Amino acid sequence: MSRFVDDIRRARCEGKLPKRFRAADVRRSCPGWADSTYSVFLSKHRTGNPGGYTAYFKQHSDGSYSLID
């Protein structure tokens, strides 16, 4: 699993990140990653992504994401 996903999971467990989040929320809760990581990683690793990447997130109709348990 990605260290970035580990950081996101940790932020969720610690209450620093809401259940549904956006890239800006992750940027505030998990600082220190490249700017492009925040803008690309969530959609690249969502359920049903076109690249066939490992899915860690579900994207909701409002554009927010949540972790897949």
22: left (phi over 0), alpha (psi -120 to 50) or beta: beta
**What confidence tens digit (pLDDT) does each residue in 29-65 have?**
999 999 999 989 999 999 999 999 999 999 999 999 9
pTM, 2 dp? 0.92
Cα 31 to Cα 69: distance, rounded to the nearest angstrom: 23
Give a three-class secondary structure readout of 32-66.
CCCHHHHHHHHHHCECCCCCCCCCCEEECCCCCEE
**Is the pLDDT at 14 greater than 80, yes or no?**
yes
Q: How confident is the model at residue 1 (pLDDT cuts 50, 70, 90)?
A: low
CB distance 4 to 41 below 8 Å: yes
